Amino acid sequence: MGLFNQEATNMKLITLEEHWESQRVNDAAKPYMPKPANPHKNSDDHSIEEFVAKTKRDNTELISAGERRLAFMDQNEIQMQIMGYGDDTPQNLDPKVAIDLCKMANDDLAKAISAHPDRLGGWATLPVGNPEAAAAELERAVKQLGLQGAMIHGYYDGHMFDDPMYEPIFAKAEELDVPLYFHPAVIPEEISEHYYQGQGWSELTAFTFAGAGWGWHEDLGVQMIRLILAGVFDRHPKLKIITGHWGEMVPNFLERMDQTLGLTVHLDRSISQTYRDNFYITPSGMFFPAQLTLAMTEVGADHLLYSLDYPYNHPADAQKFLTESDLTQADQEKIANQNAAALLHLN
């Protein structure tokens, strides 16, 4: 009998957007990491630094894949976490260093998982600036290390993922039958300045507006729409994509895109049908009932998964949002663990 069958799990959770980092990789990558943009280059406003310093978390949980993480999981009845690299991912560094650093990250992740293989799984980190090397690393990570797919943050050097250069990554993910989890990342400075800075609010507000308050999510949502419009899913009809934060704003506009963009592109399926066939979405710890209702309407229970965004997010009761919803018991169990078990071949 499989670990994640309905009887055995009894609403245990499998959560898919949980983060981890390797101290060894972070130390090796530090000399190559880009310097952050100066947020107050035109003023004496230091509110961003003050806010970041005040809210900065102890990174012990991020580095740990042991007792502290497992204690949190036990407290929240989480059967398994699928861990992906955190904000310091080496993914978007120059491939000359990223290839080796990503291999190192995946090796360290697999080693961490091996201590608790019934509780932890992982997303590979890929050197996307060299798509052929990224595809090869995805295959190694899945076939040799036992990882469940890959997590991709943002995009490399301005090249969004509809760029034909990335075809090897999509082809390999489809061939291996593993999903790609697309995660938001810091947006380009020129976009941040144009859209999110203004005279009517502080630089701290602009910083948040361009990030977790809106900009990260809109940016990733646009990327996902671009994948559809570029015909990626016509060429790779079995490719599976996961996005967090309830789909990064895309689900609430599917019908509108069919009515407008659908008149201008020639795809094998409508935009909305492509999305419903090839995308899975998770809440990323954004436990808002209205978003769940929208997701059920636009995507349906079969393509909903669960995630907390640990350790950046610590919900008091990870199960409560599901168990107190109006969903049927069958749909709750699909979202809690059954869909993930099937998608990631955890049985």
Residue-wise pLDDT tens digits, 54-74: 666 668 899 999 999 999 999
State the pLDDT at residue 276. 99
Give percent of the chain above pLDDT 70: 92
Burial class (CB in 10 A: 0-12, 13-18, 19+), 107: middle
pLDDT for residue 60: 87
In whole numbers, what is the pLDDT of the chain averaged over residues?
A: 93
Q: What is the DSSP letter of 33?
A: S
**92 Cβ contact list (under 8 Å, min separation 6):** 98, 128, 129, 153, 154, 155, 156, 157, 185
Q: How far apart are CA 311 and CA 319, in angstroms?
A: 17
pLDDT at 1: 28
- Round to whole Å and give the CA distance between 235 and 38: 41
How many beta carbons lie within 10 A of that of residue 24, not counting itself? 14
What average pLDDT score do residues 107-112 get?
A: 99
Query: Each residue of 142-172: pLDDT tens digit?
Result: 999 999 999 999 989 999 999 999 999 999 9
pLDDT of residue 49: 72
Predicted pLDDT of residue 85: 98
Note the pLDDT of residue 3: 39
Ranges of H-type helices in the chain: 6-9, 23-29, 47-55, 60-63, 67-75, 95-114, 131-143, 167-176, 189-196, 203-210, 215-229, 232-235, 245-248, 254-259, 271-278, 289-298, 320-323, 329-333, 339-343
* Cα of 193 vs its chain's centroid, Å: 25
Q: What is the fold of 6-32+62-343?
A: TIM Barrel (3.20.20)
Q: 10 Å Cβ neighbour count for 119?
A: 16
Q: Report, as an integer, the average pLDDT of 268-277.
A: 99
pLDDT digits (tens, 9 = 90+) for 277-309: 999 999 999 999 999 999 999 999 999 999 999
Q: What is the mean pLDDT of residues 209-225?
A: 97
More confident residue, 120 or 158: 120
Name which of 83, 81, 82, 78 is nearest 10 in CA terms: 78
Residue 302: CB atoms within 10 A of its CB come to 13
Residue 344 has pLDDT above 90, yes or no: yes
Reported as a pLDDT band with limits 50, 70 and 90, residue 347 is confident
**Looking at residue 251, what DSSP letter applies?**
G
How confident is the model at residue 315, as a pLDDT? 86
Q: Does residue 2 register a pLDDT over 60?
A: no
Domain chopping of the chain, boundaries: 6-32+62-343
Q: What pLDDT is attached to residue 317?
A: 80
Token pair for residue 305? 């998964």
* C-beta separation of 159 from 123 below 8 A: no
**Which pTM was predicted?**
0.94
pLDDT of residue 269 exceeding 70? yes
